[in-house]
Chains A and B, each alone.
Chain A
Amino acid sequence: MKRIAACLLLTAAASAAHAASVTLPVLVPLTGFLAVEGASQRNGAILALSTPPAGVTAKYDVSDTGVSPEVAVNALERAAGDKPIAVVAPMLGTQMLAMLPVAMEQKIPLLTISGTAAITRQGNPYIFRFFPDDATTKIAQVRFALENKGVKKPAVIYQTTAYGQSGHAEIVNALKKAGIVPVYEEALDVAVKDMAPVLAKARAAGADSLIVHLHGGPSALLLKAAAASGLGLPIIAGSGLSQPSTINLLEPAELAGVCAETSSSPVSAESPAMQGFLDAYRRKFNADPDGFALAQYDGTMMALEAVAKGATTPAALTQALSSGSYAGLAMTYKSNGRGDMAHSAVIICYDGKSRIPKVVAHYTNAAAD
């Protein structure tokens, strides 16, 4: 009897060691110009938080950070009051830059999918980015353009936003390293709706292709204009085109032959595990996931796995994320010492018959090559 009781006590003690209840608030932009992408980020995080590893209970609140740095900082300060183990932080770079000092003061790890290069270059140990930075994705985009499409005289069309400027710099840099100077470059405001003029100018400049780095909506407008005008040039787009919400704006024929870079393409369901994620996401949110959703899912799940393994304090989690690696659905994540966890990008292409793209190329550690 004594032995049974001792066994029960030991079992209970062992269970207590592995069972953990953590708070992991989700602070994402749900209003403003990043509302669509922010919703994907939220959904990815929620899917992970609602299906945590065994022994882990995750409490979370979702807060809208809008697009203003001060609202994001206020949200983080508010969340800090609940003693979170980490925070799912917004994908907007300027918000992340504002949140970093607070994370440093409060010693809270931030799990984000922001692509802005600068956020992991501030020497802050609490930032963990689960989305490849612009250097990784843009190098993949340029390499694919040069190696697979034989591009020699590209036109580069980008957005005047932070996303656009950051990506543009990496594209031009990657082209320069290959000895190529764009024959035409134009920055477009997000309010520009008529893409015919920019296409005409690119063609007049003698471009043999378009390397595009626009947000989702403008990407769709550009492709519609290109199809309508019979442009006939290869188009290698940015991750804006990989979002289902963007693809739904286009007819499959308008996508024929168009390729785009992205971190991952969950709708392509390359593996059974990815198919499982796709099905779960569709069941829960009645929508298709994009690369942002999967990246945030993977990032959140990596944190929860670390909690399950005993990293139940922010400090322990920070240490675990900094030093460990995690085989996620999209890729394997490991910090480069600055908090950049994702180092892979894929190229997807559309066949003109379906809105589901095919993954045609993987690039891992492209930036380091």
Chain B
Amino acid sequence: MRRADAMLLLCVAAYGAYAFAAGSSYTLRVFSVAGIYALAAIGYQFIFGQAGALSLSQGVFMGVGAYASGILALRFGLGFDAALPFSVGVPVLLALAVAVPVLHLRTHYFALATLIISQMVLLVAVEWQGLTGGANGIGGIGGITILGMPIRAGWPLAATVWVCVALGAALSAWLMRGRAGHAYAVLREHPAVAGAIGLDGGRMRLAAFVLSAAFAGFAGSLYVHVIRVISPDVLGFPVMVTLLTIVMIGGRLGVAGAVAGAVLVIELPEWFRPLREYTLLVYGAILLLVVVAAPGGLVGALRLLLPDRAPPAPPALAASPALAELSGLAALSGASGLLLEIDGLARHFGGVRALGGVSLGLRAGEVLGLIGPNGSGKTTLVNCVTGLVAPDAGRVRFAGADITGLRADRVAHAGIARTFQTVALVDDMTVLDSVAIARPRTDFATARAQAMTLLDRLGVADIAQRRCGGLAYGLRRRVEIARALALQPRLLLLDEPAAGLNETEQADLSRRLRGLAADGAALLVIEHNMAFLAPLADRMACLDAGVLIAQGTPAEVQGDARVIEAYLGRPAAVSRPA
């Protein structure tokens, strides 16, 4: 656990000790309610924090859990524990049903869709009076019972709630340890990269959404047996806003943030109650101050103040597997002898033609330089090949198999890796983890050992423990290439790898890329820097306005009149007087 997180949890534990020592039913009740919100917020961190999707349905999942448990208690006499599978299961089923139509949506579209679904559920609760009691709700729900034993109000109730919080926190931490946590970091920070390194973003978002719903349902079940009434209030937007505030104040990541945020957000209005009519004003001002001063939440601010002493030591390089053993970059071609066959690829964005029927081929062990002026379609071509963008027409075959329109993560698993025009690394991850996360189908310890080999290959093994956010541009480029290599690709697509590098770094990178080709990998390199590209590439191709206008040896392409014209423009006709 990071030092800042431990510090926050210690603070909460200290306050909890005070609440238990004070022993007043009021203090313990508020602390219990804070615990319930903490549990729901821990769940909310899966979808909002880890997956980075602003869901506005967490409050409704909590409410549905509360309704399930409350109705089962009233209609069938089921206790808290007996109803728990339903109070968790019903929100999970709702999440699965909701996921189909909305989970593929991005940013505010996803937020709006989840908000609309929340309103629909609220309407159902209000209108289905026979089951839910309508807007009046239903009172008379019993307290928490476990194995038939009633849990008394006061410290037994608070202890029960906080044991549940501890279990939830432990489960969350366990689920997000190692590879999973790093994978979600990539998905959250750079969704396009996630697909490019073989992560199934859709499945990860679904898992996060379902986990959020499960935790919310659990929290709702506790809530209804602590408040002992179900009413549409628990489905209302204020509950959602409270949960959102908790994770914004506490931090979107790390259970310590959810727990500390919940205690602060729920307890603060009570602490300021003596201020009477100024209570809400002061409360709002404090929350605003935290949001402005600590945009990463309490966890984020404390992590800056209390940085971890040192990341875990990387595996010894000597213990890492040899590259040949690791990479297995065996040459593999299709029936045509080409590893990659692009045939008539076309893509339009609205009225703009990005690709107008491009055909290209690439053999194993070959380096193909792809040039063209800005906007000529180079990156779109790479995006179409790697599954980031679906082509309008044309086919892409890789090692003889048709991969046209295949999802990005499946393309990556097929053996195609890429880098991006703008280096896309997660600032808070170490170099080693950034590379290890791309190692497919290996346990994370093994993946880290293998990543060391790749870092060594790229000459950056000495910075394995450093976080990516503090690296110089050239180093970031190499780390990104190492990450691409971690997929054991047979084809590597590099988008302007020399951009921002000095001449020494360019020469070094060129040598290393040549080495990769010598190992059997095919490389497609987009680059404007001819001094870098010409000596590196076996062949070059030039795009202009989405059309292939030249290909051949570097010298042939560089001397091609159409290429020169594409870069420099047509010479103006000069008319001389007769």
Contact = CB atoms under 8 A, between A and B. Distances in A.
B25 A165 contact: no
B3 interface: no
B233 interface: yes
Residue among B135, B137, B153, B277 with the highest chain A CB neighbour number at 10 A:
B135
A166 B134 CA distance: 9
Given A69-B231, A97-B229, A77 B137 contact: no
A68 B227 CA distance: 11
Interface in A71-125: 71, 73-74, 77-78, 80-81, 93-94, 97-98, 100-102, 105-106, 116, 118-119, 122
B140 A122 contact: yes
B25 A116 contact: no
Given A80-B25, A105-B153, A116 B136 contact: yes
B229 A162 contact: no
Interface in B358-381: none
A98 B270 CA distance: 18
Nearest to B30: A74
B135 A165 contact: yes
B228 to A, nearest CB: 5
A368 to B, nearest CB: 22
A62 interface: yes
B139 interface: yes
A144 to B, nearest CB: 25
A69 B24 contact: no
B280 interface: yes
Given A64-B279, A74-B270, A77-B25, A162 B134 contact: yes
A102 B127 CA distance: 28
Contacts of B127: 160
Contacts of B228: 97-98, 101
A162 B134 CA distance: 7
Given A162-B135, A164-B135, A97 B231 contact: yes
A160 B276 contact: no
B473 interface: no
B126 interface: yes
B26 A78 contact: yes
Nearest to B154: A105
Nearest to A67: B233
Nearest to A62: B276
Contact of B136 (A70, A93, A122): A93
A94 B139 CA distance: 8
B270 A162 contact: no
A162 B136 contact: yes
Contacts, number: 87
A322 interface: no
B134 A77 contact: no
A164 B127 CA distance: 12
B29 interface: yes
Contact of B129 (A68, A69, A165): A165
Interface in A151-195: 160-166
A31 interface: yes
A165 B134 contact: yes
B interface: dominant SS: helix
A94 B136 contact: yes
Interface in A253-278: none
Nearest to A78: B26
A40 interface: no
Contacts of A122: 139-140
A31 B277 CA distance: 10
B115 interface: no
Contacts of B29: 73-74, 77
A63 interface: yes
B106 interface: no
B139 A81 contact: no
Interface in B1-54: 24-26, 29-30, 33
Contact of A74 (B33, B126, B223): B33
B238 A78 contact: no
Contacts of B33: 70, 74
Contacts of A106: 25
B273 interface: yes
Contacts of A102: 153
A49 to B, nearest CB: 16
Contacts of B231: 69, 94, 97, 162
Contacts of A101: 143, 228
A100 B136 CA distance: 15
B137 A94 contact: yes
B79 to A, nearest CB: 16
Interface string A292-313: 0000000000000000000000
A105 B157 CA distance: 14
A155 B231 CA distance: 28
Interface string B124-138: 001101000011111
A98 B143 CA distance: 12
B270 A78 contact: yes
B311 to A, nearest CB: 41
A180 to B, nearest CB: 22
Given A68-B238, A164-B135, A81 B227 contact: no
A118 B136 contact: yes
Contacts of B129: 165
Nearest to B142: A101
A94 B25 contact: no
A106 B29 CA distance: 13
B26 A162 contact: no
Interface in B212-245: 223, 227-229, 231, 233, 238
Contacts of A67: 233
B105 to A, nearest CB: 25
Interface string A310-349: 0000000000000000000000000000000000000000
Contacts of B143: 101
A164 B515 CA distance: 77
B449 to A, nearest CB: 51
Nearest to B33: A70
A94 B30 contact: no
Contact of B24 (A30, A64, A81, A100): A81
A165 B136 CA distance: 8
A67 B135 CA distance: 13
Contacts of A98: 139, 227-229
Contacts of B277: 30, 64
A162 B137 contact: yes
A214 to B, nearest CB: 14
A29 B277 CA distance: 12
A94 B126 CA distance: 13
Interface in B181-239: 223, 227-229, 231, 233, 238
A97 B26 contact: no
Given A81-B24, A165-B129, A69 B136 contact: no
A260 to B, nearest CB: 21
B233 A94 contact: yes
B479 to A, nearest CB: 48
Interface of A: 30-31, 62-64, 67-71, 73-74, 77-78, 80-81, 93-94, 97-98, 100-102, 105-106, 116, 118-119, 122, 160-166
Given A98-B229, A118-B136, 14 more contacts: A70-B223, A70-B227, A74-B26, A74-B30, A77-B30, A78-B26, A78-B270, A78-B273, A80-B26, A97-B138, A118-B139, A162-B135, A165-B129, A165-B136
10 contacts: A30-B277, A70-B33, A70-B223, A74-B33, A77-B25, A78-B270, A94-B229, A97-B228, A118-B136, A162-B136
Q: Which 6 A-B pairs have the closest CB atoms?
A: A97-B139, A77-B26, A94-B231, A162-B135, A97-B229, A98-B229
Interface of B: 24-26, 29-30, 33, 126-127, 129, 134-140, 143, 153, 223, 227-229, 231, 233, 238, 269-270, 273, 276-277, 279-280
